[in-house]
Amino acid sequence: MAAENKEGNYNRPPNHLQDVEPVSAQTEANILPETAENPAEADLEKAVSEKKPAVGMIDPSSFPDGGFEAWMVVAGAFCCLFVSFGWINCIGVFQDYYQTHQLSSYSPSTVSWIPSLETFMMFAGGPIYGKVFDNYGPRYTLLIGSFLHVFGLMMTSISTEYYQFILAQGICSPIGASAIFYPALSSTSTWFFRRRAFAFGVVASGSSLGGVIFPIMIQRLIPEIGFPWAMRTAAFIILALLIFGNLTVKSRIPPSPKPLRIMDFITPLTELPFALLVASAFIFFLGFFIPFNYIILSAAQYGMSPNLASYLISILNAASIFGRTFPGWLGDRYGRYNVLIITSYFSGIIILALWLPARSNAPYIVFSALYGFSSGAFISMIPACVAQISDIRQIGTRTGTMFAILSIGALIGNPIGGAMVAAEGGAFTHAKIFSGVLILAGATGFVATRTSIVGRQIKKKV
């Protein structure tokens, strides 16, 4: 029978925390005692008792939270996200290019399955790669992922038919990107505790920088050397960065091989805070990528020059660099869930208040910068929020489970938006409303997640 805490809030049903004394907030990361000398440090990650830490947890004092080795892991993980999620962040460029070149005979909704499959395949591998990470560490997964990602892009460079783009860019390359993305995130979490959100922010900013550089590079190289060699050039750059990533990314915690059990992926979903977090993030993700995918096309519809419109994705991702680092620092200081809620609401509001009525260049540029900042916070804060309510030795499995569910939202969100555009005769009004409302609904779900952890304590650092 689940225990009840002082406020009468929900505690998870007993599983790996069975027979553990109740703590002041319901999370497996609560292993630090309150200290009267420094009350500002009191937050969700501290327990009532200093003498009896939660069973199965790693002592937080063992986390380096810095040092050469830890920051080298961050540097390597930065490169890994630069080439994996950073590549996915430039999907809007390919949506626009394919619709006007190789796949001009296909509808926007049909073409959007290529970038949607990219996003889906990258996130869907989470449970598999997460479990492999928990059992064996990051080494082999990174090596296999490096090969598949580069090979897929090389094959994309010689593709001419729709099915070839689906297989090479929509399936092979993102499977490799997935095998790069998850070990990088999970390895980082084993080196940081108090500064975890900031470390995740630095790592996640690699994807933003990749989202700035890759779109500009691809668009500038295609007229100069053609599409095939533009893709090959990108693949060689990715290969070089992955060599550094493979040499530096490692887990601090020794792997502990365990048999694969389906319940390892299902059990976390029986915990109310984790289930609410995943459900809310799924709803958020349904609308998350629509601005990335359609902002160039919608801007061009209202008269923005193709040259200027091509920079919108880069502007968005450049702002996202700050959105993935500064909110992480704020999250460590004022509460990760608190920051996630605020930035998520802001994302939904500016879609409806700024992108929806935009009819000229200025609001599109301003929206790109603001949405890049606020949406970037989601990418850096979500892994930190998962780690905050998880046993660090299960972080790969739990993070992977969440992102696998989110991948479904990433898969169907853009095609739904594309179908709305087609049904509206090429206008983007319904797609913008769809995106904004879903993001606001997801933000409201994050409020429910926070409430399940600490109740209605508005001023609590969570």
- For the segment 239-294, what is each residue's pLDDT rounded down to a tens digit? 999 999 999 999 998 887 888 888 888 999 999 999 999 999 999 999 998 998 88
Q: Where is mean pLDDT largest: 114-128, 142-156, 252-266?
A: 142-156
DSSP letter string over 228-267?
Answer: HHHHHHHHHHHHHHHHHHHHH---SSPP------THHHHG
Over the stretch 352-411, which tens digit does the pLDDT of each residue have?
Answer: 999 999 999 999 999 999 999 999 899 889 988 998 998 878 888 898 899 889 989 888
Helix axes 196-248, 68-83, angle to 10 degrees: 80
Q: Which residues contact 70 (CB under 8 A, 6 or more apart)?
A: 64, 191, 192, 199, 252
Over the stretch 6-21, which tens digit does the pLDDT of each residue have?
Answer: 444 444 444 443 443 3
* The pLDDT of residue 453 is above 80: yes
The mean of the pLDDT values for the chain is 85
Over the stretch 182-210, which tens digit does the pLDDT of each residue have?
Answer: 999 999 989 988 888 899 999 999 998 99
Phi, psi of 33 (to 5 degrees): -75, 155
- Residue 202, CB half-sphere, CA atoms under 13 Å: how many? 17
Q: Angle at Cα 135 formed by Cα 18 and Cα 76, nearest 5°?
A: 115
Over the stretch 69-113, which tens digit does the pLDDT of each residue have?
Answer: 999 999 999 999 999 999 987 877 888 789 888 888 888 778 888
What's the pLDDT score for residue 58?
Answer: 62
Q: Which residues contact 121 (CB under 8 A, 6 or more apart)?
A: 170, 171, 174, 175, 177, 178, 407
More confidently predicted of 40 and 441: 441
The tokens 């390919």 sit on which residue? 94
What's the pLDDT score for residue 116?
Answer: 84
Q: Averaged over 149-155, what is the pLDDT?
A: 96
* The pLDDT of residue 28 is above 60: no
Q: What is the pTM of this model?
A: 0.76
- Tell me how far CA of residue 11 lies from CA of 4, 28, 48, 387, in angstroms: 6, 11, 15, 17
* The pLDDT of residue 175 is above 60: yes
3-state secondary structure 346-382: HHHHHHHHHHCCCCCHHHHHHHHHHHHHHHHHHHHHH
Over the stretch 424-435, which tens digit does the pLDDT of each residue have?
Answer: 988 999 999 999
Token pair for 213: 């550089």
> What is the percent of the chain with per-residue pLDDT over 70, rounded to a whole number?
87
